Amino acid sequence: MNNLVLGQNIKRMRKVRGFNQKAVYQSIPLSRQAYSNIENGKSEPKTSTLIKIAQVLNKDIQDFLVEPINFRTMRFRTNKIITEKEKMKKEEILLNLSFWLQNYNFLEKLLNEKIDFIFDKNNITDPLVLAKKVREKLKLDNIEPIFDICGLADNISVKIFLFKYELVKFFGFSLGKQDNGPVIAVNTNEKISIERQIFTIAHELGHLLMHKDSYNSELFEENQKEEIEADQFAAHFLLPNDGFLKELKKVSGLHWIDQILHIKRIYKISYKTVLRRLIELNYADKDIYKEFAIAYQKKYYQNLKDHFEPNSIEPDKLLKSDFMSERLNRLVRKTYENGLITINRASEILNISLNEMKELTSSWNEIKYA
């Protein structure tokens, strides 16, 4: 078995148990470095060591040997990944996604709650026309903001996988339907704004709908035409023309910087998305990006470097709670409360410790549902 797969399996089991590395390697015993090398896939442990680790974690060795899915329809462009460390992190993300997806599909099958992807037969290639058609299909008018894009994705059978990756210029990727998807994976690194994460979901949805032929795990380079089309779809899907123009007219008396900030707050999008749409409507030229940065710093004494998303002066900030996928948690609750899975299995699926899982199940009793 691949050492990285083995190590990641052990790491997942350890975290579920709520143990740090020290609690495991001292119980074996093993040196800190030797144990770290096992979890990081840098060395292959002896069978006797695996047995001891399994005993400490109260698991069977077979749990460490579960193989990941071999993805065939993955759109994960790696031309932005430049170091060996980043490549290793990519492999770790895909391993975690594989086990997460296996658990997700296990619950859907157990409860017979598989949802069909309603846009499976889409053949529209114009991103602006498609954005309007998708909003119509989802019963969203041409003014209404999208308040819960993760929930919207859940409802159309697009699974949302959240991960953290140090490369902040890498925002996400997606899997096609053939890999038990579709799945949209989003980088939730703290340096990436929630608005950018929301845009990533819309961007990847555009790829899923318009670029089915590009879902090939052997393709590594980005197609700039497809990237532009996905950006156009996302911008129009999140910020429809009628709503955009209505809000602009409503705040036309404000300083132009505050007009932009108002739009971004209402539609939960980045300021760059608003600027992009202004350019498309010929309300501004491409210099507006530079002009906005200069004017914002002059007005609010803060620069826009390092992916800074201006929202500190707005009345309503976007929070992490605005960006969560709830369907997996609902499936776990239903299967657990119906006695179909144990609390240990529930904690493994949600990748939280047993104590955290116990606290979660206790919290469910606070609100009684009919």
Whole-number pLDDT of residue 81: 54
Q: What is the pLDDT of residues 228-286, one digit of tens each?
A: 999 999 999 999 999 999 999 999 999 999 999 999 999 999 999 999 999 999 999 99
**CA pair distance 112, 5, nearest whole angstrom:** 30
**CA pair distance 66, 361, nearest whole angstrom:** 27
Nearest to 133 by CA among 278, 263, 240: 240
Q: What is the pLDDT of residues 282-320, one digit of tens each?
A: 999 999 999 999 999 999 888 887 667 875 444 455 566
Domain end residue (candidates: 64, 83, 106): 64
pLDDT at 152 over 80: yes
Are residue 126 and residue 169 in the same domain, yes or no? yes
Of 85 and 333, which is predicted with more confidence? Answer: 333
Are residue 94 and residue 155 in the same domain, yes or no? yes
Are residue 121 and residue 267 in the same domain, yes or no? no
pLDDT at 155 over 90: no
The rounded mean pLDDT for the chain is 86
370 domain residue, yes or no: no
69 domain residue, yes or no: no
Are residue 161 and residue 92 in the same domain, yes or no? yes
Alpha helices of the chain — where are they, by DSSP H?
Answer: 3-17, 21-25, 32-39, 47-57, 61-64, 84-111, 127-137, 149-155, 194-210, 224-238, 241-250, 256-267, 271-280, 288-300, 327-337, 343-350, 354-364
Are residue 108 and residue 11 in the same domain, yes or no? no
Whole-number pLDDT of residue 314: 44
**Structural contact between residues 268 and 193, judged by C-beta atoms closer than 8 angstroms:** no
Whole-number pLDDT of residue 321: 62
**CA pair distance 197, 268, nearest whole angstrom:** 10
Domain end residue (candidates: 206, 221, 238): 238
In DSSP notation, 315-329 reads SS---GGGS---HHH
Query: Residue 356 belongs to what domain range?
Result: 326-364
Taking residues 62-88, report their average pLDDT. Answer: 74
Of 53 and 58, which is predicted with more confidence? Answer: 53
Are residue 206 and residue 295 in the same domain, yes or no? no
**CA pair distance 123, 119, nearest whole angstrom:** 9
Nearest to 185 by CA among 259, 267, 97: 97
Q: Indicate the pTM of the whole model.
A: 0.84
**Structural contact between residues 184 and 171, judged by C-beta atoms closer than 8 angstroms:** no
Are residue 222 and residue 269 in the same domain, yes or no? no
Domain end residue (candidates: 208, 238, 268): 238
**Overall domain count for the chain:** 4
183, two tokens: 């799945």
Rg, the chain, Cα only: 23
Pairing of strands 183-187, 172-175: antiparallel
288 domain residue, yes or no: yes
Could you give the C-alpha distances from 311 to 198, 240, 278, in angstroms and in order? 15, 21, 19
DSSP 45: P
Are residue 184 and residue 198 in the same domain, yes or no? yes
pLDDT at 82 over 80: no
Whole-number pLDDT of residue 124: 85
**Structural contact between residues 143 and 240, judged by C-beta atoms closer than 8 angstroms:** yes
Taking residues 38-61, report their average pLDDT. Answer: 88
**Structural contact between residues 42 and 4, judged by C-beta atoms closer than 8 angstroms:** no
249 domain residue, yes or no: yes
Are residue 92 and residue 229 in the same domain, yes or no? yes
Are residue 12 and residue 85 in the same domain, yes or no? no
Are residue 280 and residue 159 in the same domain, yes or no? no
Are residue 35 and residue 110 in the same domain, yes or no? no
